[in-house]
Every structure is written in C-alpha cells, then in structure tokens.
Amino acid sequence: MEREVKREDELEPLLRAFCSLGTPEEARALLTDLCTPRELEDLSQRLAVARMLADGHSYVDVSRATGASSTTVSRVSKCLNGPAGGYRLVLSRLG
C-alpha cells in the first residue's frame, strides 16, 4: 500500500502540469517531451476509439477504422462507461 501512496504523490505534479497548460501547442510540447512517438500514437488512438464508441459505432467498426485491437476497444469501452469519467468529460468538452 505504501507504493500506491508514493505513486499518487508522484502523479500529483504531473496532473498539475497538465492543468497549467493553456493551448494545444503547449500540450503538444509537454506530451512530446513526456512520451515516445508510439505512446502519443496509442493515446491518440484511444481517444479516437472513445469518440467512435460514444457516437454509437460497433466494436468491429471502431477497430477497423482506428486500427485498434479488440482488446484496446474493449478496454476503452470499459473506461468510457466506468466511474472515473475522464473520456466522457473530455468528449463533452470537445463536442
């Protein structure tokens, strides 16, 4: 349990960093520094999956359109409908 607390303490500065960003350009700069190109591709793909699922597309259509594996589509769907609400929040703000 001690490790969980430490990880949460480590996460807080990152969360504050994201909250401090004011433009897409600033977000791109930070994400480019933090993530590998593959990680950015994966994150972008997951958001595209979430958007399509929220729009009512089937798992098969989402997988075909995004190239995401069925496992990724299923995981994103679980999160999209889960208690955290991050995808729902962001998608509602993006319109």
Structure tokens at 78: 């679980």
How many other C-beta atoms lie within 10 A of the C-beta of residue 82? 11
Give the pLDDT mean for 8-36: 95
For residues 23-50, one letter each, b for 16 or more C-beta atoms within 10 angstroms of the residue's C-beta and e for the rest, the string is eeeeeeeeeeeeeeeeeeeeeebbbbbb
pLDDT tens-digit readout, 37-93:
999 999 999 999 999 999 999 999 999 999 999 999 999 999 999 999 999 999 999
Query: So what's the pLDDT on residue 12?
Result: 93
Residues 55/77, Cβ–Cβ less than 8 Å? no
pLDDT tens-digit readout, 79-95:
999 999 999 999 999 99
The pTM of this model reads: 0.87
